[in-house]
Amino acid sequence: MLRLPFPRTSVSFRAGLRRSTAVIGLFAASLATVQAADWKVTKGANDVGPGENVTVSVDGKVVARLIYGEGQQKPFVAIYDEQGRAITNPGVGKDGKTVGIEPHQRGIFIGWKSIESDLGQLDPVNSQGTKYVGKQADTWSMMNGTTQQLVEVEKMATNDDSASIVARVEWRAGTKDASGSNLLLTETRRIRVYKPARALAQVDVTSDLLPARDLRLGADVQHAGVHMRVDASVYDHIAETSYLYAPANAEKAGKPYYNGGLPGATGSIKGDNLKWGEFLFPLHDRWYSVTQMNSIMNPVEEFSTREYGRFGFFFKQDLKKDEPLRISYRFLVKVAETPAEAPKRSAAQATKVRQELESAYVKFVHEVR
């Protein structure tokens, strides 16, 4: 084997090398200290309304809460900014009274207005449109005696860059079968909360739906799917809100919720290849952006774009007993740049945001299946 000579080093060089190594070591230790945030997950009584919650905090500041229990219609995830102010709609306040319009829409939630099974179906002729007359189950507005109950928090965990919660949720109809069972499906809801650079929160929500009987998840884009509702006060600023979505050439559909809202606003975006939708809105005297990303493995038909801040992906699906369906979404929450042509972004701003979100979506696709 050929051996190359190694030159002798001076005492001063070796001393300098040791000092450099020490400095590098201190820098690395310092960097590690900066990066290692203190994530905590705690379970207790809900201090912002009825029921209980599992609170995710980092460095002593609340980032998100899974809220559930007595006095709550269904489990949902609430999001907070760096000052501890709610970004999402609580639906019901500390006094037990509902908050704002459509109070059943709260935080990040999941539900279908029409779930048909042997326990109940829509009337053969549904002459009242989206009122969905019949005996079907309803985990959207929780009609017909339907319940969506968190029965167990199965896991709470943290690591250096995130916190996670796993909960078991039972969806039950208001009627029972001959055996006395009203179980529609059991959902395993996995929530992982991050705080990326330049973001308030990143929340990944994966739901494994295990049907206890044959089911049909139905209804329409405005009454079904996995959605998010921002703070109820945004309703007073609907003429200032706006959406971006991908692909940019996706078909617009429906009509806006409120005719005095944004000119040209539509009720939804249609397509079987929808990737993400972003909602820009004013709140707490500044601007926020929330982007919901849709996994490439999810079924999808439409993305809701209500101007008051309830948005989400929708699909209809027939489910067979004991054949699970997994759906995954990412919610990226940021403080947004003030629109240059308020309340509209400039073309340059919109292009920049779209490029950033396309990159974020590629990252999501690689991370979440």
Q: What's the domain count of the chain?
A: 1
pLDDT at site 132: 79
Comparing CA positions, the residue from 246, 234, 236 lying closest to residue 273 is 246
- Domain residues for 348? 47-367
CATH of the domain at 55: 2.70.98
Q: Is residue 189 situated within a structural domain?
A: yes
Comparing CA positions, the residue from 100, 79, 357 lying closest to residue 200 is 79
Close Cβ partners of 34 (under 8 Å, ≥ 6 residues apart): none
Q: Is residue 8 situated within a structural domain?
A: no
Q: Is residue 15 situated within a structural domain?
A: no
Provide the residue-wise pLDDT of the chain in tens; the chain has 369 residues: 433 343 444 434 344 434 344 444 444 433 333 445 899 999 999 988 999 999 999 999 999 999 999 999 999 999 999 999 999 999 999 888 998 889 999 999 999 999 999 999 988 766 455 667 889 999 999 999 999 999 999 999 999 999 999 999 999 999 999 999 999 999 999 999 999 999 999 999 999 999 999 999 999 999 999 999 999 999 999 999 999 999 999 999 988 777 566 666 789 999 999 999 999 999 999 999 999 999 999 999 999 999 999 999 999 999 999 999 999 999 999 999 999 999 999 999 999 999 999 999 999 999 987
Q: Is residue 52 situated within a structural domain?
A: yes
Q: Is residue 7 situated within a structural domain?
A: no
Q: Is residue 256 situated within a structural domain?
A: yes
Q: Is residue 141 situated within a structural domain?
A: yes
* Separation in Å, CA 258 to CA 224, 237, 240, 241, 254: 19, 11, 12, 12, 12
